[in-house]
Amino acid sequence: MIALTVTTLINPHPWHLLTPLWQGDDRQVQSGLPHNQLAPAWQMMLLGDGSPTRYLQLLTGEPTLIDLIDMSSVGESHDRAPAQISKVPGPRVRRQVWLTNGGEPTAYATSWWEQSHVDEYLENRSLPIWSSLAKLRTELYRDVQGLYYGHSAEISKAFNHPGPFWGRHYLFWHHGQPLTLIYEVFSPKLERYLGPTTI
9 is a domain residue: no
Q: Which domain holds residue 125?
A: 66-75+99-199
Q: Give me the DSSP letters along 6-51.
A: -EE-SSPPP----EEEEEE-HHHHHH---TTTS-HHHHHHHHSSS-
Three-state secondary structure call for residue 107: strand
| Domain membership flag for residue 21 | no
Residue 27 lies in a domain: no
Mean of the per-residue pLDDT values of the chain: 86
Question: Is residue 60, in this structure, part of any structural domain at all?
Answer: no
Residue 14 lies in a domain: no
Between 137 and 165, the higher pLDDT residue: 165
Instruction: Give the pLDDT confidence of 56-112 residue by residue, as tens digits.
Output: 999 999 999 999 998 899 999 999 999 999 999 999 999 999 999 999 999 999 999
Whether 91 is in a domain gets the answer: no
Q: Which H or E element spans position 74?
A: strand 64-75
Number of domains present in the structure of the chain: 1
CA–CA separation, 136 and 128 (whole Å): 13
Look up the CATH number of the domain holding residue 128.
3.40.1410.10
Q: What is the pLDDT of residue 55?
A: 93
Q: Is residue 187 part of a domain?
A: yes
How far is 10 from 47, CA to CA, in rounded Å? 35
Question: Greater confidence, 190 or 125?
Answer: 190
Residues in contact with 132: Cβ distance below 8 Å, sequence separation at least 6, in sequence order: 121, 122, 123, 124
Residue 192 lies in a domain: yes
- Whether 133 shows a pLDDT value over 60: the answer reads no
| The pLDDT of residue 7 | 42
